[in-house]
Amino acid sequence: MEACNTWIAIVFILVVGTVPSIKAECEDYSPCTCGQNAEGNLYINCIDVLPTDIQAAFSRTTALDIYSLVLILPASGGDIPADLLSGKRALLIDFIGPSKDSFQLIMDPGALRSSSSYTMQLVISKCNLIQLDFSFLRGFSRLEELRLDYVSNIKPIENLPPLTNLVGLAIDNSQGFEALTGFPAVAFSQLNHLYLYNDELNDLATGIILDAFVSSASANTLEVLTLSKNMITQVPQQVTALPSILNFALSNNNITLITTGALSLAAPSKVYLNNISLDAIEADAFQGDYSYAEIDLTNNNLVSFDLLVFKPILTQMAGIANSTGTINLANNPFSCDCGLAWLIRDNPNLLKATNGATCANTTRFEDLNPGGYLECGVF
What CA–CA distance (Å, rounded) separates 330 from 364?
Answer: 10
Q: In the predicted model, what is the mean pLDDT of residues 305-321?
A: 96
Chain mean position to CA 342: 37
Look at residues 222, 254, 286 and tell me which one is the last residue of a structural domain.
Answer: 254
Look at residues 153, 176, 206 and tell me which one is the last residue of a structural domain.
Answer: 153
- The reported pLDDT for the residue numbered 100 is 85
Residue 1 has pLDDT above 80, yes or no: no
- The reported pLDDT for the residue numbered 109 is 98
Q: Do 196 and 238 have their domain in common? A: yes
- The reported pLDDT for the residue numbered 19 is 52
Per DSSP, which regions of the chain are E strands? Answer: 33-36, 42-47, 65-72, 89-96, 121-125, 145-149, 168-172, 193-197, 224-226, 247-249, 257-258, 263-264, 270-272, 280-281, 286-287, 294-296, 326-328, 354-355
Q: Do 368 and 264 have their domain in common? A: yes
Q: Do 234 and 289 have their domain in common? A: no
Query: How far, CA to CA in Å, does 313 sit from each of 246, 304, 350?
Result: 16, 16, 10
Q: Do 296 and 349 have their domain in common? A: yes
What CATH number is attached to the domain comprising 363?
3.80.10.10
Domain count, the chain: 3
Q: Does 158 reside within a domain?
A: no
pLDDT digits (tens, 9 = 90+) for 118-157: 999 999 999 999 999 999 999 999 999 999 999 999 999 9
Q: Do 305 and 323 have their domain in common? A: yes
Domain span at residue 268 reads 258-379
Q: Do 243 and 264 have their domain in common? A: no
Q: Does 293 reside within a domain?
A: yes
Q: Does 159 reside within a domain?
A: no
What CA–CA distance (Å, rounded) separates 126 from 51?
Answer: 17
- The reported pLDDT for the residue numbered 21 is 57
- The reported pLDDT for the residue numbered 294 is 98
Q: Do 294 and 314 have their domain in common? A: yes
Q: Does 160 reside within a domain?
A: no
Look at residues 227, 254, 281 and tell me which one is the last residue of a structural domain.
Answer: 254
- The reported pLDDT for the residue numbered 39 is 85
- The reported pLDDT for the residue numbered 379 is 73
Q: Do 5 and 121 have their domain in common? A: yes
Q: Do 209 and 266 have their domain in common? A: no
Q: Do 2 and 133 have their domain in common? A: yes
Does this model's pTM top 0.75? My answer is: yes
Q: Does 15 reside within a domain?
A: yes
